[in-house]
Amino acid sequence: MRVLVTGADGQLGYDVVKKLKELNIEHIGVDKEDFDLTNEKETKEFILDYQPDAIVHCAAYTDVDQAEKEKELCYKVNVEGTKYVAEAVKELDAKMLYISTDYVFDGQGEEPFEVTDEPNPINYYGETKYQGEQEVQKLLNKYFIVRTSWVFGEHGDNFVKTMLKLGKERDEISVVADQYGSPTYTGDLAELIIEMIKTDRYGIYHATNEGFCSWYEFAKEIFEIADVNVKVKPVSSDEFDTKAKRPINSKLSKKELYKLFSIQNYECSIRGFLKKII
């Protein structure tokens, strides 16, 4: 199997490439320097020249707040860029795995969202990721759409690293306590993605580490495991002024995922991750 990974310099793409290397699977990791995803000709030529059996499409415009300002660029990357990739995949009759997000949902209610629930994004980033899903579904039969949330990994910035940094600098940290979801370690998700693309079990999946918590509980867990003595103050979303709205409930049901695959609890993942970086 030959695999092409877009967004290879991002948190998740980096770990997918790393795992492919460890498993001796033929692959190439590409990023902005290799081709411009918003350029149809460049994107298609690169993919068709490499002729992968599968594409893991991690590349995306992911700055949720900035997306409200840079709508045109966000749309070009997340919708048009995804369409170009999918069209090249169709021409090759290859598989495509598209990384999506919990932000395709509106966060209403308390129950975890099922893969069959109707998306209803409340910010522009979520809207473009949902439109990207639709482009993949329109063009392809051999696709995996993987919605994930709250990712953290060794490469790049994330909530865990930010908390550790702030924990060294401050005596007290305020963290949102009324948004709920699942932390997801990119190392675990990368392994799962590679398992998926080896199969023909196509469709939409929710893939996060097992278990749910609030950002506040997530922060408390980080400091407890890292043995950092800092006071964590729970606050409401209203106290944080962000340009883009965030869903209150980002819980994703993994019923469909567990029929075929498994993934460990988020507490175990945080523990393993912190051992690597501290």
Q: 88 Cβ partners below 8 Å, 6+ apart?
A: 43, 44, 47, 48, 55
Write down the catalytic residue from 14, 61, 75, 125: 125
Active site residue 124: no
Whether 20 and 14 have beta carbons less than 8 Å apart is answered as no
Report which of 92, 5, 7, 86 is spatially closest to residue 48, judged by C-alpha positions: 92
Structure tokens given for 73? 């660029």
Residue 170's CB is within 10 A of a number of other CB atoms, namely 11
Report which of 34, 31, 26, 80 is spatially closest to residue 53, judged by C-alpha positions: 26
Q: Exposed (0-12), middle (13-18) or buried (19+): which is 202, by Cβ within 10 Å?
A: middle
Radius of gyration of the chain, Cα coordinates, nearest whole angstrom: 18
Whether 52 and 94 have beta carbons less than 8 Å apart is answered as yes
Residues designated as active site: 125
